[in-house]
């Protein structure tokens, strides 16, 4: 993750906190994530690092490109569904930035790819 990109840094923090909350509540994790959630976080951060939109990306939920493989996509959706509303209490500034700033941005289309019907 490039720390000089505040947008991507925020995105990485947001998904990191969401997985923390989910793992703590659902899997009873305390100091560290359980192996499954650690794997999911590493995967999410790796996808983010490879995101073709970088600073101009919308939120993952709005994105036109579904870059997660199906089982990871299923898992991250569950995490977001659980932790999304809870982010408002635990990390309100991040949650608001995600919803109000990043989520309002239209998801760009990939310029290099031909449009798929």
Asked if residues 8 and 48 have their Cβ atoms less than 8 Å apart, the reply is yes
Q: Does 27 bind Zn ion (CB under 5 A)?
A: yes
Q: Among 1-9, 15-23, 69-77, 83-91, which window interacts with Zn ion (CB under 5 A)?
A: 15-23
Shortest Å, Cβ 75 to Zn ion: 10
- 34 versus 107: smaller Cβ distance to Zn ion: 34
Q: Among 24-32, 59-67, 72-80, 94-102, which window interacts with Zn ion (CB under 5 A)?
A: 24-32
* Cα angle 80, 52, 71; round to 5: 40
Q: Does 18 bind Zn ion (CB under 5 A)?
A: no
Token pair, residue 51, equals 């995101």
Residue 71: alpha-carbon gap to chain centroid:
15
**DSSP secondary-structure letter at 103?**
T
- Judged on CB neighbours under 10 Å (0-12, 13-18, 19+), 14 is buried
How many residues make contact with Zn ion (CB under 5 A)?
4
Q: Among 37-45, 54-62, 86-94, 105-113, which window interacts with Zn ion (CB under 5 A)?
A: 37-45
């Amino acid at each position: 993750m490039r720390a000089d990109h505040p947008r991507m840094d925020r995105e990485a923090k947001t998904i990191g906190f969401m997985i923390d909350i989910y793992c703590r509540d659902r899997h009873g994790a305390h100091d560290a994530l359980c192996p499954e959630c650690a794997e999911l976080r590493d995967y999410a951060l790796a996808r983010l690092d490879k995101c073709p939109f970088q600073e101009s990306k919308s939120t993952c939920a709005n994105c036109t490109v579904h870059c997660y493989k199906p089982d990871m996509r299923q898992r991250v959706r569950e995490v977001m569904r659980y932790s999304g509303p809870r982010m408002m209490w635990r990390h309100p500034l991040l949650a608001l930035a995600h919803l109000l700033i990043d989520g309002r941005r239209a998801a760009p289309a990939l310029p290099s790819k031909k449009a798929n019907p």
